[in-house]
Structure 1
């Protein structure tokens, strides 16, 4: 018996040590230090007013029911420092201006993309994270910072799965929420800050509502962890967008049987000129601007209800209430149409070698233009770029993203969709299915297309948008088009120098390496630094404290494909071997492609 108690004691101590380590690293994530730049520079991509509209217009996300004033009042677990302090959130990679002050659009003085909204009939202001949080970039060089609006972000936003490494915004947020709720002194400070004069009458209700939000976060963290849904760590600037949307929409909201492993993280794409493309998303799977934006809002946390209070599937016009804000999504889309591609800042990053860039122009025409200069055609009164879709077995890049959207199937029969009703929705499937849709075995693309159609219709009716006005808000009268190909799109390369890392999964750190054979690319490199390399055109990749190591040997992270090397074309080889001097010339040209400096190049 004494031996049993000794073993039990050892087990309890071991569990306590493990729990203590998890709590410590969860509450103290391994983050890079934040050093404000000497000066933050803005390019002439759009007006300051457009920039503020883009940064702080809400889209309807609710971040697990978290209130805006709650978020701004949270403290770190083991200190009274404010969690939402700009200098702390900047350590996760969110963008702040060292000179920024609270404003009517940003009363809590939060980073780019953090805003608030109220639902109709409610006075609660919810924390709303917008597309600007993920599609605004910044480059640092010699103490200077350059804001690139519409470029990929480098933050660590999505995961709340606890790890000993830490470093995720979601994980750290859950730690602060839990510390606030379970530490009575913290909660008292929090409650007095949030409630003010309403403290006495609303303290109890605040604790109840706060616990409900915390429980939502904990449930997601537990579910994602014990099911192992996200085995490929996303790290800075990446998320498995389709996997997370599908798990939330079809797993959380319908049935646990619909959870699928999401092992295909992608970089956030850059947004300039996107409105001119015929298909968007890395795999060219979406067509209508409003549907794309509604899907993005649902993926970031907009509410979505499939069932009534009795658990019965909603029918008819009751499908499907959500918190998405169609007028605001349209405003964001209209603002993005004014966004110019970034132009190379010679005063910050160095002057252009024009003779070398002219040589690069000829090399671009020979090696790159066939894929990256798409034909333009007129459709419905606007010029549309018809992007080339490159099959996976041709481009040779990591196949997970393309394969998952084609292969993952979901059982949506609980929603009781009538095929005849679906045929009346403004949805077009490409290629056209040869057999009737099987609602118990539906692809993520098709399932999300119909969900989005119902959500969009309900949101339009709730917002009082007339049927005649919908075509304008949808964007050019386009249907909700869905295309399922095992392929990735080749987009125009204007401003590509400002969009590192490269390939759809961010597995190649610089353009120089992208023009090189795979054998010359980094197998592992550090992500999360904003320090720019203006020679190789990418972020610097050496080790730094708090950095994230991207291992390209992991499924979903492969840096294969898009190779210029000797050998037969196909299976990732897309062109002849480029000599180093040719790569340098191409890089010099890519700095000016599509910008005013291109017109100054000498004629060869």
Structure 2
């Protein structure tokens, strides 16, 4: 115990000279911590931009689950009738049916960098060279002693394309990062690194990159996501830890590989979608279920990422201790994130202010106690002098001082899943070093609703396609819907219901790929709950359909 306290003390004092935030469970958030390190304006802007760069290009250099890039690129760039290419494609097409790197990136759900300045995006991108923008956001080329390696970082899951506008901090609707690792784990045992080197003319260093990746993959536990758009990070962390020893550093041994411990997440679903970034400024606990009750959420993210990549935790602890500036910059960027505004995409006149003001009353009655108070421009003294755009802004947002957890009857799989590995995480020395504590909860955090219009589909498991469905009693919500990309504002988005168009309104091309069919009858995908005592009272509707539309109109302005 004394050893761990000493490490925590040294970890804390080795931080940079920035003001250190309070990451403890007892801290009360009295106002949004947008400037988490209390930096001067100039230092704040620079630090945030540095952090966004780290979000776009994964900074953890001790991660060994990487792909030798040049041989892979040369393979895909070779002629289609090249005999080596044809042979390898036939051998791997079941697991990896891709014929180009662009197909790989598209399947992963990665988005290209913006090609011009986009005034609609709330979180400006750092200035990048044309070379840095050659690969899509989230793909990272690392210069290693063995050669150039490809890996994937934060932006793979936390960047989205919103009608052609790239939004950093918005949930990627179709990330496949966990599925990528699952397929890699299936393929790796059949890859002979020497044959790889000889057939693809790789260097010995590039072969070593593959050797290290294969070694790490042995300690990665995976399961197939239950739906495109959800990630299996809980299962990947839990099942990866089950392949390690139960000591303070979850040591990787042959014995632990031969005798992995059983874990309920091998079969039970605990999937959820990645969260938006701009909500963290209001909180003092993390994840959709609030189960991380202390510690910097960026530390937790790196820890989970690297356990799920089979990384040596001694090495990760050393990296975290030596890279405070990187962590602080990324933390600053996450906390400074802002949501996209509805009127910037659809015009200020797209909001019916009188209707939204009526909807505000319904919000105060049914939503405010959980999701926070939103004071609007139209609530301010002298509002009659404000423009239409100024009237619909959030003048002040007041959330809970201590982040609550509520059980409103939504699918329990995600919060129950934390029980499968909380003890394993808490016993780790690295958790004690970074101050992360996990406590399973019963329910989920009712999030602040900033930018709620852009966060469809709704609930932690994507089970409600739009806000109309959210405001429908659970038993009558659509059991199935088809999902698709947000390319066209008129075709791909229902402005009345805010979210996916459903039924006959859904684009026909979306219905061609069964992967994008959402079925709420599957385990982990239930769309029940969040109705009684919210917009139902003793099973009876509180609001008329007109009043629900008024509430939706108000939610557009948040």
Bin of the TM-score, shorter chain as denominator length: 0.5 to 0.7
SS of the counterpart of 2:285? coil
Q: 1:490 to 1:330 in 2, by over 3 A?
A: same
Instruction: State the Cα deviation string for residues 130-170 of structure 1 (Å, max 9, x = none).
Output: 22211112223xxxx232321111234245xxxxxxxx544
In the alignment, structure 1 residue 333 sits paired with structure 2 residue 341: no
| 8 Å Cα contact 1:129/1:300 also seen in 2 | no
Change over 3 Å in CA distance of 1:74–1:497 after alignment to 2: farther
Write out per-residue CA displacement over residues 410-455 of structure 1, whole angstroms, 9 at most, x where no aligned residue.
Answer: xxxxxxxxxxxxxxxxxxxxxxxxxxxxxxxxxx22321332x426
Corresponding residue number in structure 1 for 2:263: 259
TM-fit CA distance, 1:499: 1.0
Deviations 1:475-506 (A, max 9, x none): xxxx4343332121111101111111111111
Deviations 1:524-573 (A, max 9, x none): 1223533333332113454433342222111111111001588656xxx7
CA gap of 1:72–1:322, structure 2 versus 1, over 3 A, is farther
TM-score, scaled relative to structure 1 = 0.61
Q: For residue 154 of structure 1, what is the aligned residue in structure 2? A: 173
Q: CA deviation at 1:214?
A: 5.0
1:13: which partner in 2?
none
Is the aligned partner of 1:448 residue 2:425?
A: yes
**1:288 counterpart residue number:** 295
Q: Tell me the distance in 2 between the aligned counterparts of 1:373 and 1:533.
A: 25
Aligned to 1:64: 65
Matches within 5 A, 1:511-590: 511-530=467-486, 531-541=492-502, 542=506, 543-546=510-513, 547-563=515-531, 576-590=541-555
Is residue 109 from structure 1 mapped to residue 110 from structure 2 by the alignment? no
Are 1:498 and 2:454 an aligned pair? yes
* Matched-pair contact (CA < 8 Å) for 2:70–2:148: yes
Give 1:389 deviation, angstroms.
1.1
Contact residue 360 and residue 585 of structure 1 kept, 8 A = yes
Question: Matched residues in 1 for 2:187 and 2:235: separation?
Answer: 27
1:185-204 counterparts in 2 under 5 A? 190-191=200-201, 195=203, 202=204
User: Aligned residue pairs: how many?
Assistant: 433
CA distance in 2, matches of 1:357, 1:512: 15
The residue that corresponds to 1:130 in the other structure is: 153
The question of 1:354 aligning with 2:353 is answered yes
> Following the alignment from structure 1 to structure 2, what is the Cα–Cα distance between the partners of residues 384 and 370?
9
Distance 1:55 1:187 in 2: 30
* TM-score (structure 2 length as normaliser): 0.66
Match of 2:56 in 1: 55
> For 1:67 and 1:329, how far apart are their aligned partners in 2?
26
Equivalent residue, structure 2, for 1:297: 305
Shift of 1:513: 0.5
Distance in 2 (alpha carbons) for counterparts of 1:60 and 1:557: 36
Cα drift, residue 239 of structure 1: 1.4
Structure 1: runs of 5+ lacking an equivalent: 1-43, 160-167, 196-201, 306-317, 376-382, 409-443, 458-473, 594-604
Distance 2:263 2:278 in 1: 34
- Distance in 2 between the 1:401 and 1:98 partners? 34
Indicate the RMSD between aligned Cα atoms, in angstroms. 4.1
> Matches of 2:361 and 2:181 in 1, distance apart?
47
**What does 1:229-244 correspond to in 2, within 5 Å?**
229-230=223-224, 233-244=225-236
Q: What secondary structure, in the 3-state scheme, does the structure 2 residue paired with 1:550 have?
A: strand
